[in-house]
Amino acid sequence: MTNPPTDRLRRPSGIRSLTLGDTKLIFVPDGLARLKATSWLDTTEEDWAPHPEHLDDGHLVGGVGGLLVERDGRALLIDTGAGPLTMDTDYGLLTGGALLESLAALGREPGGIEAVAVTHLHIDHIGWADHPAFAHARVLVAASEWTHRQDPHDALEPRVRTVADGEEVFPGVRAMLAPGHTAGHTAYVVEAGGQRVIAFGDAFHFPVQIGHPEWEVMADHDRKQAAALRHRLLAELAEPGTIGFGVHFADVVFGRVTIDRGAPVWHPVDG
């Protein structure tokens, strides 16, 4: 279940930011995903009947981009969006290309970003990682994700540094293994100001999954493992002082989870 204004569930987010203590987190848009709901999630038309607010002509709409973490003059980018592409897939449309413009709008030079931490190695998360604008930045990726990569990623390999579960990858940011969508899929936990933000990558793709963690994602590497992870993450997200970040979560990318009459609900948090 979700309870934001319904139009926000059917459009990609623009730049949105959140400040926790001395740390600023900013969603940096790159493009959008528009996916057929019953193709992306193992569902039927009947499953969607109670959830029309999530659908645009039968499609789920979400953003593509990255999460910029700024602290003490330093910057980390979690995921980089899809890069300059337009791709029609079996599931729907994926576009990218706006990330550098979004960074410019924020007054942030790519050269000032010291590292890119990737949740996983799918194109809509690493599209800009091998671009010359980020040639100086280390690429941080879970060891298990790198070991099980489907592409050699020759352009990235010289800059890759593998990270372990629980490792601090940037001041106040630690990796949290969250496999299922891919073998080494990784969330990142940002702690500041007595709160924490869990950037959960593609553990959840769209807000409707908050109320339906059992709905399996057709593109998941291990669908059962991913579903079990979603249930565990919901318990984490419902903990006091916890905010979630969903990179594809339409125009509600930051949010808190509460339990309402036994069902989890996503409440958008706007900085």
Q: Among candidates 198, 203, 209, which has minimal Cα distance to 255?
A: 198
List the beta strands (DSSP E) in the chain.
16-20, 23-36, 59-71, 74-78, 86-88, 92-95, 115-117, 138-142, 160-163, 168-170, 173-177, 186-192, 195-199, 242-245, 254-260, 263-268
Say what the pLDDT of residue 61 is: 98
Question: Span 12-24, mean pLDDT?
Answer: 98
Tokens of 210: 């908050």
Q: Yes or no: say if 127 and 97 are a contact pair by the CB < 8 Å rule.
A: no
pLDDT digits (tens, 9 = 90+) for 24-68: 999 999 999 999 999 999 999 999 999 999 999 999 999 999 999
Q: Yes or no: say if 114 and 138 are a contact pair by the CB < 8 Å rule.
A: yes
Alpha-carbon span 236 to 184, nearest angstrom: 19
What residue spans define the domains of the chain? 6-268
Say what the pLDDT of residue 262 is: 86
Q: Yes or no: say if 55 and 43 are a contact pair by the CB < 8 Å rule.
A: no
Tokens of 14: 């623009």
Give the pLDDT band of residue 3 (cuts 50, 70, 90): low
Is pLDDT above 70 for 216?
A: yes
Say what the pLDDT of residue 1 is: 47
Tokens of 220: 């998941």
Q: Yes or no: say if 190 and 199 are a contact pair by the CB < 8 Å rule.
A: yes
Q: Among candidates 267, 196, 184, which has minimal Cα distance to 226?
A: 184
Question: Span 86-94, mean pLDDT?
Answer: 96
Token pair 């038309």 is found at 45
Average pLDDT score, the chain = 97
Alpha-carbon span 3 to 54, nearest angstrom: 11
Q: Which CATH number fits domain 6-268: 3.40.50.2300, 3.20.20.410, 3.60.15.10, 3.30.565.10?
A: 3.60.15.10
Alpha-carbon span 181 to 70, nearest angstrom: 27
Say what the pLDDT of residue 4 is: 56
Alpha-carbon span 241 to 192, nearest angstrom: 10
Give the pLDDT band of residue 271 (cuts 50, 70, 90): confident
* pLDDT more than 70, % of the chain: 98
